[in-house]
Amino acid sequence: MFSKSKINEPGPGADNAAKPESKPAAPAPSSAPVTPKAKPPASQLSSDLLITGNLKTTGDIQIEGQVEGDIRAHLLTVGEGATVKGEVVADDVVINGRIVGRVRGLKVRLTSTARVEGDIIHKTIAIESGAHFEGSVQRQDDPLSTGGGAAKAKSAD
């Protein structure tokens, strides 16, 4: 039924065999959009960078400089020498530096070098010994949703 020569060795119909192989290769580009689900590397804002304005991404951001504005991301890492003045909203927030403003995250972690001046709204939180924190802490099942969205959901019932 199967022979090694037909599979591995080009035979008299090798030219014909090449044409059918190129047709199945056409669906490969349509499957290519499925593979870009690989996570891109985090965007890094260097220590000499000052940004005035809001940042919004579905990816990851690592801040090493200064940001004056709100930040929304999937994973936000605030470097040890970094300062953020504004609201931070992310699935995961790791704070090594300074934040002045509200922090909203599913998982929030303040390392020993963290300085936070503002409220933290979280699902889970970890605060290492040595972290400096001034504000209130509130646990919510969905800390990423805004208060207005919850009010709209209640009024729709």
Q: What is the CA radius of gyration of the chain?
A: 25
Residue 58 CA to residue 12 CA, distance in Å, equals: 54
143 with 128: CB under 8 angstroms? no
The tens digit of pLDDT for each residue in 32-46 reads: 555 556 667 788 999
pLDDT at 8 over 50: yes
81 with 63: CB under 8 angstroms? no
pLDDT at 115 over 90: yes
Looking at the whole model, is its pTM more than 0.85? no
Mean pLDDT of 101-110: 97
pLDDT score at 78: 96
71 with 86: CB under 8 angstroms? yes
